[in-house]
Structure 1
Amino acid sequence: MTTRRTMIAGAAAAAAGLVAAPAIAQGLVEWRMVTAWPKDLPGAGVGAQRLADRIGVLTEGKLLVRLYPVGELVPGQENMDAVTNGKVEMAHGTAAYDLARSPAFAFFSAVPFGLTAGELNAWVYDGGGQALWNELAARFGIRAFLAGNTGAQFGGWFTREISGVADLKGLRFRIPGLAGQALSKLGVVQLLMPGGEIVGKLRAGELDAAEFMGPVNDAPFGFQDVAKFCYWPGFQDPCMAFQLQINRERFEALPKAQQAAVEAACAEENIRSLAQYNARTPAVLADFVAKGVQFRQFPAEVFQAFGKAVGEVMTDAVEGGDDLVRRIAGSYFGFRDRTLLWTRLGEQGFANMRLLPYDFPRGT
């Protein structure tokens, strides 16, 4: 009898060890988050880790998130599939990477000539955008929330000046997505490659221009060392929103309080990420100036040509989509139309007036 009891006790102990009994007893859950970024990438990569940590804090340690940078557990282009099929529970990236699945994902990341970061927040949080995003994400078995933003971006780094539309013909430009498709209509040769290859191609003369993620992320790669003309504004990305994708079934299985904590952590990171980009960009720009970078504004005729081409591409994408794509586009563009006047009278108007010459205190 004693031997039998000993064997049963030993088997039970072994089984408990295999399933991490202490975690089960305390109701702890550990999830995996894959990302689209290197772990130390300023803004995006650092923000993903901050988000993972914050979820643990807000759930009082009940939901722990282990982060796996791009390629460590899943190839970056397979992040969404990994979340959908349950290989991992979360993925931090941008919805722009999911355009092959539906053009509607663009509206939750960056649309050329679209919404700014503040306007996008307004549409998603209080203009009906999140409900439409939920409907789109449900098709792929996920939930998705805003979880960061770069804010405004450059129009691109160029090795030569752009004086008019004619200068675009034959221009070899690393520019992905809808913007790249639009520029192809103007004679630009759209090229795609990972961020780590861009500077080498510019230095070797195999590229004439490139855009990446904005000043904070461009600087570490050394764009300023190989392309001295930096054009603005960034028509292709008036902002670039990051997202957290979550396996829908596992998210809905969480206690309501933990669901709320995940959503709150995403909203907090959305604010903190944009604040960090805006806080660090001025020093980066000062360094660019010191290194001889020449900031140039796109000529009006070039910008208008960009707008016309983007309009054509967006129209084709929406008309070729299904009912949900058209409803999301209608909501997004309707919000854009309605917010134009307030943006002009509010932030844009004030920013323009602030540039006028007058005496004002200077800081250190």
Structure 2
Amino acid sequence: MTASRPSSPLPTPGARAASLADVAALAGVSTGTVSRVLSRPNMISEATRLRVMDAVDRLGYVANGTARALAMRRTMTVGAIVPRFGSSSFPALVQALESTLAAGGYTLLLSAPEPRPATDTSILRALLERGVDAVALLGAEQPQQVLAMLGASRTPFVCMWAPPDASGSSIGFDEKAAAVLIVEHLRALGHRSLGYIGGRTADSERARRRLRDLKLAMAERSLVLRTEAVIETDHGFREGFEAMQAIARREPPVSAIVCGSDYLAAGALAALDQAGIEVPRRLSVASFNDNDFAPYLHPPLTTVHLPIREIGEQAGRQLLARLGAGSATAPVALPVRLMERASTGPAPR
């Protein structure tokens, strides 16, 4: 015969909020054990943890975050600033970052602002005033005011989607290696004259690096980037569609278009389909990112797989290590690889 579980009435509206002692009494453990289950569950046996969490759920217990933060001198939160969160690959990056931090007991506070002047530090200031224990930023080109604020507050930080460096604060991949994969692939297919649809270089360091590295890889292999077939725009399906329409109207002498993201490439493929321009027989299309939808476009998209989720995971591990909640090796350039599909083919005669 099994022992019956201690019973306790469920809380009613207006009743006193459940306390740590209430949870301990219902679970049949000490208040210290409850505290460890909520803050360091790896220190407690699975059976005890499940019993305590059952009591927490039944009582609707919510820890006093302010009191815990004062006691621990930590809020167990990490702030992240990721602009242009919408039509981009950043959701996958942030999801991986959040999952990694959650496994270490930390909550992610995300800010996804519209682009602002480089001197605007209001969002970072707001996160620091909320007491975040660490910060994840996007890109390597951070304003001096941001770095000064983080240094003055002694807040650990990492820069995601940035070329790895000796400091260990930058997590990313080799952009030039990604560009070389696409250029070598198109060159092997006989393409010599290319166009490009990418992000606005005035707004984004990632867009600047991507176009710069593509140009370098093309120049080293005697390929030509036609200026009349280059359009900078925002990343999105509609933007890619309209950019491809504009290039098609100009009828530049190109045999392939490289897109800065799969979102732009998806729009470009739709525009070519509507115009009756067959891909890849008349025009090849290649891209970067390898988003989940890339294999299901018409035709399936040739693209460079970028380690988007891995960037988020490695950033999370690096922050946890700096907060003393884990270990991490020095960041290295994450691998990239070409996903060759049906949107690219031999250059037409």
Task: Report the TM range for the smaller structure's normalisation.
Answer: 0.3 to 0.5
State the structure with more CA Rg.
2
TM-score by length of structure 2 reads 0.41
TM-score by length of structure 1 reads 0.39
Q: Which has the higher contact order (CA 8 A, sep 6+)?
A: 1
